[in-house]
Structure formats: C-alpha cells, structure tokens
Structure 1
Amino acid sequence: MENKELLGEIEELKLKKDALILAHYYVDGDLQEVADFVGDSYALAKKAVASEKKRIVFCGVKFMGESAKLLNPHKRVFLVDKHALCPMADMITGRDIEEYRREYKDLCVVTYINSTAETKAHSDVCVTSSNALRIVKKIQADNILLCPDKNLGTYIKSQLKDDLKDKNVLIHDGYCHVHEDFTYEAIQEAKAKHPKAPVLVHPEINPACYDLADYIGSTSGILKEARERPEEEFIICTERGILHQLQKDSPHKKFYFTDLKQVCYNMKMLNLEKLRDCLRDDLNEVFLDEDVMEKASRPLKKMLEMAE
C-alpha cells in the first residue's frame, strides 16, 4: 500500500472512531506527522486528560498507555504495539518499594512516570523529567526515594542540594539504556568535531557526562533550547527520534549526535501499518485491575497538581 493511501485510511479511521492520536518524540517521524499531538511524557499526560475524544491511541511504549488509562479511566486507551516496553520501567516493582518503606519511616516515594502501573500504585507522587525539580522541591518528608532512574535521581539531587540538605535522599539503581550508554569520551569526540555546537543533554544521561553539557533538561526542554538559542548547530544527547521535531522547528540549523547508537528499539517497533491496524481492529486496548487503577492514579493526579 502506498503511503498516501495508508495515511488516508488512518485519517478516516481516526474520525470514525473519534480517536486522539498521541505520539512521543522518540517514535519514527511518520508517526509524529500523523499524530494529533506530539510531546514528552508530561505534555502527553496533560493532553490525554484535556481531550474530549472517546478513545486515545498512544504511539509510545506500554507505561505511556497505562498512564493515559489511569488518568482517563472512562475512556478507551490503545497501544499501537503492546510489545513496545520500557526496560527501565521493569527495574523496580511494588515489592521493592514496600521494602524501602519498611526500612525508612516518613518516606515519600517519588516515581518517574517511566514506570509500570503496578509500581505507581505503591508510590506517593510521579514526576517527569520536565517537572521533577519543581515537585521534589516541595516535598516535606524526611526520607525521599527517587526511582527507578538513578541518573535522573542523581541530577535532581545535584540541582536541589540546598533544598534537600536536611533530607535523606535515596536513589534506586534503574536506568535507561539509551542514556546510560553515553560516555564522556563520545561526547568529547563530538565536541572536537563541532567545537561551536552547544551540548544539549537529557537528565537520564550518565552523570559522568554532566560536565560537558551546556544544557540539561527534558526532551521538550532540549527542543526549546535548540529553537531559542542563537547558535546554528547543536550536539544532541538523547534518543535520535527527537531529530524529526528539531528539524521541523529549526530547518536552518544543524544537529549532530555522537557515534553511539542512541536508539530506543522499543519506540522504533511502531509504524504506520500497526497504527492503522490498531485503529481498524481495536487492537491492544489497555486494561488494568480496578484496585491498581485506583491506587496508581493518585500519584499521577498528585503530579499534575504539584507541577503547576
């Protein structure tokens, strides 16, 4: 099937099913183009809540579809590919969190949105890379657990060291393989090739690379920085799917990546054919246990409240 015909079929099905298509910046560009809204985890969570559409179709990984369902229990939520997972999300469980709670009293569990619904159900508040600093700064508990991403946790702790000086901050040992694999040497090499290019990095990156960054922030923050800074070229240290939006925002600018792969293969499992099939055949609907739904929705709603 030619791409034009496939796109037409998707548009027709979207209208027929009253569907909102959401896409993360890391999926392929053709999916970003067909989506009603493209964003990072925080923006997509808010968009899912604001929509009046009867169903939400997520071009992203499993935890994103679960989060959309938690925030929209009365809407039908679908994943383009149910096998597209986030390895980091599986690096912590509810059982792990309860072990922390037994050891530390007055504990606030701050869980990255890149986590399973089951993990969220044991958490106090969720965060994204966009809002984590604002939220953690407001927490009053004596003990704070930042999970599952050790690199985001390390970044939060480093940025809020004065605010957290009287707190006991615990950091779980999970990570995103795409960002963990960045090395100081690889970024140095990119800087040597492009000495005029500022280095923009995601806080999930290996902390050993912080010193080389001109900016550390969320996916949306990196896009904003590249769009608004006067420089004409940038070194981008996050998943390569962001390039599509970078080039749309600033077609006259140049964007470089390191020689590392920088690819989330789970995000790249999605394509237009799978989106069409999902819409047409009602595939991969997200269902969650009612008890998990009730408990896991609380930290997500708390996130939206505290991030304002």
Structure 2
Amino acid sequence: PGAEFLIHPECGCATSVVEAVSAGDVDSEGVHILSTEGMIKRPGGSESDTFIVATEVGILHRLRRTYPQKQFFAANERASCAYMKVTTLPKVRDALRHLQHRITVPTEIADRARLAIERMVAIGGGTVPVQSEGVDPGE
C-alpha cells in the first residue's frame, strides 16, 4: 500500500503489473510507465517512500544509491537482461582504441546523425572534434 510502480515499457515483467492495474488490483494513479532515466528521476519528485520497480534489476543499485532514504523492490527479482550485460566499459574502450566493430551507414544518414549528435553535445556545453572532409576515422 502506498508504493508507486515504476515500469519500463520494454521489460517483460511490466506485463503482470499492467494486468493488475487492468483488473483493478492496483490503483493506476501510482503506476508510472517511464524510460530508464524517467525511472531514475521519478522518486526525487515523489512523496512516496516505497517503489516497486518493473525493469532490469540492475537499476535498483543506482536508485538505492541516489535515494538512500527510499525503499525499492523489484517486481521480479530474476529480471536480468543479458543484452544489457554485454556492453562493458572495457569493451567500449577497446573498440574505440582498436576501431573494432565498425558500423557503416550511407552518407546522408551519417550527416543527419552527426548533426543531431553535435546539437546534443552543444546543449551539454561540450565541443565536438571537427573531422576533415573525406577523412576516414578508421584509417
């Protein structure tokens, strides 16, 4: 009672929570379907002290560290996403260091993506290294 549900829409365990809301077993007012970052931010703006989290259990550590005065419970303690565990900082470092796992896209798509990334970095106050025309960063 009084707990809020934080649900990630891509999590399989979310289905049972949505079914409980549909059946009237859970008050829909305390149910929030959110992105991962939305799930991290919601407890900070909530008066509730208790949250049931329906997503990959790895998020619980960050929630508990960010809001030590609040309680967080997994909707499913076994909700572990193997795909989320594949990418690690050492793997990203090595891929960048050795230019591995290259993805090639058509120029027009790359140009639009580059513009979006440059805008995001600018909003964050950073700068984007300028690449010379026609230079392949993989060479």
Common fold by TM > 0.5? yes
* Whole-angstrom CA distance in 2 between matches of 1:262 and 1:209: 18
Q: Which runs of 5+ in 1 are unaligned?
A: 1-194
Q: Tell me by how many angstroms 1:209 deviates.
A: 4.5
- Higher percent of residues as strand: 1
- Higher RCO (C-alpha under 8 Å, 6+ residues apart): 1
Per the alignment, in what secondary structure is the counterpart of residue 266 of structure 1? helix
AA at the equivalent of 2:104: F
Task: Count matched residues.
Answer: 105
Structure 1 residue 264 corresponds to structure 2 residue 87: no
- Contact 2:57 2:77 (C-alpha < 8 Å) held by counterparts: no
For the aligned residue pairs, the C-alpha RMSD in angstroms reads 3.1
- String of CA shifts for 1:249-273, please: whole Å, max 9, x gaps: 2122221002353222111112233
Moved runs in structure 1, 4+ residues, more than 3 A? 209-213
Shift of 1:210: 4.3
Alignment partner, residue 43 of structure 2: 226
Distance 2:49 2:93 in 1: 38
CA deviation profile, 1:144-170 (whole Å, cap 9, x unmatched): xxxxxxxxxxxxxxxxxxxxxxxxxxx
Mapped to 1, the partners of 2:49 and 2:19 lie a distance apart of 26
Any idea what the Cα deviations from partners look like across 1:178-213, whole Å, max 9, x if unmatched?
A: xxxxxxxxxxxxxxxxx3422221234434354435
Q: Deviations over 1:200-251 (max 9, x none)?
A: 2123443435443512222222222212212222100122232233123212
Structure 2 vs 1, CA of residues 279 and 230 (structure 1 numbering), >3 Å: closer, same or farther? same
For residue 82 of structure 2, give the secondary structure of its aligned residue in structure 1. coil
User: Which residue is 2:6 aligned to?
Assistant: 200
Q: Larger C-alpha radius of gyration, 1 or 2?
A: 2
**Change over 3 Å in CA distance of 1:203–1:259 after alignment to 2:** closer
Q: Which amino acid aligns with 1:268?
A: K
Which residue number in structure 2 is paired with residue 216 of structure 1? 33
What's the % identity of the aligned pairs?
31
User: 2: distance between equivalents of 1:210 and 1:203?
Assistant: 14
AA partner of residue 202 (structure 1)? H
Match for residue 288 of structure 1? 105
Distance (whole Å) between structure 2 residues aligned to residue 262 and residue 196 of structure 1: 23
